[in-house]
A and B are shown apart, each in its own frame.
Chain A
Amino acid sequence: MVKMILTGNESAAWGARLSRPKVIAAYPITPQTSIIETIAEFIANGEMDARYIRVESEHSAMAACIAAQNTGVRTFTATSAHGLTLMHELLIWASGARLPIVMSVVNRAMAPPWSVWTDQLDSMAQRDTGWMQIYTENNQEVLDSIIISYKVGEKHHILLPTMVMEDAFILSHTSEPVDVPEQKMVDDFLGEYEPAFKLDPDDPAGFGSLIMPEGPYMEFRYKMALAMDAAREEIRKVSQEFGEVFGRYYPGLVEEYRTEDADAIMLVLGTIGSTAKDVVDRMREKGKKVGLARVRYFRPFPFEEIREIAKKADMLGVVDRSYTFGYGANLYAETKSVLYGHSDVPVKNYVMGLGGRDITPEIVEKVFDDMLKIAREGQVDREIEWVGLHGDERWS
């Protein structure tokens, strides 16, 4: 194992390199671009053996990955925001075709107005595409999650693609020390890619043909649903195996931090987690009993873990770095949904940090204080609150 100073994007490129995909199809978009630039350099220097297709759009990037993976090789791509949403049609195609593609997604705000900074609407809008989704907290987790995602997705009872998210700039362009595993260890951990099916002139088959309503379309979708459900256990298992080999144990679908005996627990996705952990420590020192649950996997959704977390506190505050126009953001809506009939704990949605607005320890502490007040009073003042809007004295 070698310690390197890597940005999140370089970590993603290393995660891809170590997983040995044979085909990369890529198109540039800020803030993802340095992933595919780093991979191009690896290939140009003979350090990585992969075919690199410099496609003319992200839509074609995903189409080329689908076709290549269906031909029997491991593939990788990376994108952000508009690139990800341009892929939308083919994201559904990739999962429906049961191809365990792995893609890095650098979470970036959607225009208008133009913003290249972090915001999770881009990947939240892909919630229903049938991809597994993991939101990472640091560069080490970015690298490791790519390797783990191939291992989980390629299991023949799973066969689903995964997107590995990093928050724009906070991870993508920030350097941290990262342990880069030795190639041999990753090779042994992942093994050769064994496709469950492939395009092969010696064994001709058709993939994706027309199905009538009385045909097995619904059964194919049901099998996908079962696979996504089975992925929960597989993620826990592979995370454990990964820990045994590489010494870094990831806590399955949700990472809990000081949740035991907490009065209020905050649920977050992505890098807000590390800020919040720091705030939890400070507040604990002052005797304020707060805890954190960092939801790593949003798909499959960790309903069992969240029901257990709800038992530990008098109040849950759900932070979303995106919004679902209509009612409540995604993590909040799904949290409430899985708690219905299982818990009466008050839940409040805090919408924060859209378009890359900084989420500081100070503002997180104020949110925790608001949560503790609700925990004491036993009911929420309002279900959804936008935190830190211009002119809002409450949070400044």
Chain B
Amino acid sequence: MLPGHTACLGCGATIAMRYVLKALGKNTILSIPACCWAVIPGVYPHRTLDVPLLYTAFEVTGAAISGIREALNALGKEDVNVVGFAGDGGTADIGLQALSGAVERGHNIFYIMYDNEAYMNTGIQRSGSTPMGAWTTTTPGGKKRMYKWEPKKSVAEIMVAHNIPYVATATIAYPEDLIAKIKKAKEIKGPKFIQILSPCPTGWRHSPDKTVEISRLAVQTNMFPLYEVVNGTYRITVKPKNPKPIKEYLRLQGRFRHLTDEEIEMIQREVDKRWKELLKKERCSNED
């Protein structure tokens, strides 16, 4: 990355990109659909990314990286990393079909979902990856308490169901973990999917200096567990010894400010349930 990006102060997705490129190196081609990162590199002719970059339509990242990969292979350039770098809307919602097709076909590609849990570039609208209880501009609460009450869609688990060689979650507060996962993925041939939780001060309504702290709390409260799935075998890479109550994570963010104690309790139960499921998956997939 070169200086001069146009992201908001405290943008988690920008830190995510920096770590991803650090781990991958220069022999990399990026494809970015409509999302915050379609704007962050700068306005034509400026560009903060010192790797080739193909901007694409919102829903086509999976297809675009398939095309780049196969063209490179046809040209004998099999060593170049091909990376799709897309937001949660472009991945969990509008781009899910193209992603599913791409990973099922087994291309040697990276797909990075930087997850800021809503359509942030268009101004904070609910996506399938928005967490339970969150305020967004299309779940604005109001008299009817119309917040996002449905559970967050687990794209990583959808990817696991595609039987691909590498699936992982990561977040920017754990850079060693994140970089290690990218480097591990680099050694694996086939489709690699990595979901990076990337706090968004603008959309999550938190102070820009809290980005890393909130990212860390997401892991320490089990809101966003860090794990990897290699050929179907789960490994939780950061296991909080005594998970903190999710309230500590929620209270730092304006998007959860409206939640009542009962609602927080409901979300806590959902988080506990998912964590237990993950522990079970880790145990079962490691059994003979």
Which A residues have a C-beta under 8 Å from some C-beta of B? 22-23, 25, 50-51, 53-57, 59-61, 63-73, 75, 89-90, 93, 199-201, 203-212, 215-216
List B51-81 residues whose CB lies under 8 Å from chain A: 51-57, 59-60, 62-68, 70-75, 80
B49 touches A (CB below 8 Å): yes
> Would B66 and A64 count as touching, CB distance under 8 A?
yes
> Would B60 and A63 count as touching, CB distance under 8 A?
yes
Given contacts A64-B63, A199-B29, A207 and B43 within 8 Å (CB-CB): no
Q: 6 closest pairs, A vs B, by CB?
A: A56-B101, A67-B67, A60-B63, A208-B55, A64-B67, A71-B71
B55 nearest in chain A by CB position: A208
| Cβ contacts under 8 Å, A67 to chain B | 31, 54, 56, 63-68, 71
B41 touches A (CB below 8 Å): yes
> Would B55 and A63 count as touching, CB distance under 8 A?
no
| Cβ contacts under 8 Å, B276 to chain A | none
List B3-42 residues whose CB lies under 8 Å from chain A: 26-29, 31, 38-39, 41-42
B50 touches A (CB below 8 Å): yes
| Cβ contacts under 8 Å, B41 to chain A | 206, 209
Given contacts A71-B75, A204-B50, A206-B55, A57 and B101 within 8 Å (CB-CB): yes
| Cβ contacts under 8 Å, A54 to chain B | 105
B210 touches A (CB below 8 Å): no
Of B51, B55, B57, B64, which is within 8 A of A209 by CB? B55
CA distance A205 to B45 in the complex (A): 10
8 contacts between A and B (CB under 8 A): A63-B67, A66-B67, A72-B71, A89-B57, A208-B56, A209-B41, A209-B47, A211-B43
How many Å from the CB of A307 to the closest CB on chain B? 38
| Cβ contacts under 8 Å, A50 to chain B | 74
Of B53, B68, B75, which is within 8 A of A206 by CB? B53
| Cβ contacts under 8 Å, B65 to chain A | 67
Of A53, A206, A207, which is within 8 A of B70 by CB? A53
| Cβ contacts under 8 Å, B38 to chain A | 209-210
| Cβ contacts under 8 Å, B45 to chain A | 209
Most A Cβ at <10 Å: residue of B44, B55, B66, B71: B71
| Cβ contacts under 8 Å, A66 to chain B | 56, 64, 67
A90 nearest in chain B by CB position: B57
Given contacts A67-B31, A211-B43, A59 and B59 within 8 Å (CB-CB): yes
Of B43, B50, B66, B74, which is within 8 A of A210 by CB? B43
CB-based A-B contact count at 8 angstroms? 151
What secondary structure prevails in chain B residues at the interface with A? mixed
B202 touches A (CB below 8 Å): no
Most B Cβ at <10 Å: residue of A25, A55, A67, A210: A67
Of A56, A201, A216, which is within 8 A of B29 by CB? A201
| Cβ contacts under 8 Å, B72 to chain A | 71
> Would A201 and B28 count as touching, CB distance under 8 A?
yes
Most B Cβ at <10 Å: residue of A72, A203, A210: A210
B98 touches A (CB below 8 Å): yes
Of B26, B52, B66, which is within 8 A of A55 by CB? B66
B58 nearest in chain A by CB position: A89
> Would B43 and A56 count as touching, CB distance under 8 A?
no
CA distance A211 to B63 in the complex (A): 24
> Would B70 and A72 count as touching, CB distance under 8 A?
no
Given contacts A66-B67, A201-B80, A90 and B60 within 8 Å (CB-CB): yes
B38 nearest in chain A by CB position: A210
CA distance A70 to B49 in the complex (A): 18
How many Å from the CB of B228 to the closest CB on chain A? 26
> Would B52 and A199 count as touching, CB distance under 8 A?
yes
> Would B101 and A23 count as touching, CB distance under 8 A?
no
> Would A201 and B73 count as touching, CB distance under 8 A?
no
> Would A22 and B57 count as touching, CB distance under 8 A?
no
> Would A59 and B53 count as touching, CB distance under 8 A?
no
How many Å from the CB of A23 to the closest CB on chain B? 5
> Would B43 and A53 count as touching, CB distance under 8 A?
no
CA distance A376 to B160 in the complex (A): 74
Interface string of B196-239 (1 = CB under 8 A from A): 00000000000000000000000000000000000000000000
B100 nearest in chain A by CB position: A56
Given contacts A60-B63, A206-B47, A53 and B52 within 8 Å (CB-CB): no
